[in-house]
Amino acid sequence: MNIFILFLCLFSLIFFAIFKYLRKSFKKKNFFRLNRKNLYKWMNLSKKERYKLSNNDSAFYLNERKNLLAQIRKEYRSIVRSDRARKF
């Protein structure tokens, strides 16, 4: 019985590791950023593809900024609350 549980745990860990790897590989399939290394690849794309990739990049950057701003606001609120608690 203990061996069965051990094999079940190992199988589930291996399954989740493979699932996580496959999920990451499918997410980043057509997304790359413009830099010196891939300039020629970027220029070989059609105008629509470049436009679509630049829009995706802009949306990604916007989401990152929103998340960072939300984190800053959360930290500021916690600091203000702790300062108010000290005053009283």
pLDDT at 82 over 70: yes
**Pair (36, 23) in one structural domain:** no
**Pair (21, 45) in one structural domain:** no
Contacts of 30 (CB under 8 A, 6+ apart): 53
pLDDT at 25 over 80: no
pTM over 0.85: no
Q: Which of 13-27, 45-59, 69-83 has the lowest mean pLDDT?
A: 13-27
- Render pLDDT for 66-81 as a digit per residue (tens, 0 to 9): 999 999 999 999 998 8
Residue 53 confidence class, pLDDT cut points 50, 70, 90: confident
Q: Which residues constitute the domain of residue 87?
A: 31-88
**Pair (8, 38) in one structural domain:** no
What pLDDT score does 52 carry?
Answer: 87
Looking at the structure of the chain, the number of domains it has is 2
**Pair (21, 39) in one structural domain:** no
CA 9, CA 70: separation in Å to the nearest integer? 38
**3-state secondary structure labels for all residues of 25-57:** HHHCCCCCCCCCCCHHHHHCCCHHHHHHHHHHH
- Single-letter code of the amino acid located at 64: E
CA atoms within 13 A on the CB side of 6: 3
